[in-house]
Amino acid sequence: MSVRKLKPITPGQRFKVVNGFDALTADKPEKSLLAPLKKSGGRNSHGKMTMRHKGGGHKRRYRLVDFKRTKHGVNAEVKSIQYDPNRTAFIALIEYKDGEKSYIIAQNGLQVGQKVTSGAGSAPEIGNALPLNEIPLGTIISCIELRPGQGAVMARSAGTFAQLMAKEGKYVTIKLPSGETRMILGNCLATVGAVSNSDHQLIVSGKAGRSRWLGRRPRTRPVAMNPVDHPMGGGEGRASGGHPRSRNGIPAKGYRTRSKTKDTNRYIIERRKK
């Protein structure tokens, strides 16, 4: 994987850094795995704006990604690595022996022609999904289930990975991308390897218009608002705005909002770093 820095022939290209996309092997998606994706513009069923800074953006179609990997014990061949406009990671098109096709999140190092499988008894190799209690200690993993059969919910974005730290009884201990260390049931599935497109963090959009293409509308700084609009608004001249907080008054930058009586707190060994 690589990134490209463009020559500054226009103001929008002066600082622009784009993905080289050299890991991709196909430019057309699999038609049978596409679904329509409707935009809401941040409005609810009554037409009222309930989420700010949304609207516009390029038309997309959703890729039906298999996060559950329920076809256990059946070998599948990687047909292509593709771009997905709905996520930062790349996706891989795989075809099972019986002809069924599916999309999965592509791991770093996944190659076209490679065989992948899922379920108990699978080898701990890149792209294979297997229960956490069958994965060797210290292995880099991603696309992790939190509950058996739920489907992958953690470590799914570009370049992220977790590490298997320990096994004790029916639980295993993993260190998550946030720095949090927690226990998860050993029969939850996880995929071996880090998620693809690790260069995503190096990309620089170069201009405001590119955010509009992604469906993001401009955001007004709270300090520039009036007191009626935001707790940090108002003041004479360029006032700093006081303590950073959200629009409804909840403090930001270090204030913990997680409930102290939350049932799953007992599974967290070490909280994420501030």
Quote the tokens at residue 9: 């022939």
pLDDT value at position 273? Answer: 78
Quote the tokens at residue 218: 């401009």
The Cα 54–Cα 210 span in angstroms is: 14
Domain boundaries, the chain: 3-201
Q: In b/e form, how buried is each residue of 145-168, taking b as 16+ CB within 10 angstroms?
A: beeeeeebebbbebbbbbbbeeee
The Cα 66–Cα 100 span in angstroms is: 12
How confident is the model over 92-101, as pLDDT tens digits? 999 999 999 9
pLDDT value at position 250? Answer: 95
pLDDT value at position 1? Answer: 66
Mean pLDDT of the chain, nearest integer: 95
CATH topology of domain 3-201: OB fold (Dihydrolipoamide Acetyltransferase, E2P) (2.40.50)
pLDDT value at position 274? Answer: 67
Long-range CB contacts (< 8 A, 24+ apart) of 33-36?
A: 33/63, 33/64, 33/93, 33/101, 33/102, 33/103, 34/61, 34/62, 34/63, 34/64, 35/61, 35/62, 35/64, 36/61, 36/62
pLDDT band at 2 (very low <50, low <70, confident <90, very high): confident
Calculate mean pLDDT across residues 104-108.
Answer: 97
Structure pTM? 0.92
Residue 112 pLDDT more than 70? yes
Residue among 210, 205, 212 nearest 16 (CA): 205
Residue among 162, 121, 106 nearest 139 (CA): 162
How confident is the model over 138-189, as pLDDT tens digits? 999 999 999 999 999 999 999 999 999 999 999 999 999 999 999 999 999 9
Per the CB < 8 A criterion, the answer to whether 241 and 223 are in contact is yes
Burial of 55 (0-12, 13-18, 19+ CB in 10 A): middle
pLDDT band at 241 (very low <50, low <70, confident <90, very high): confident
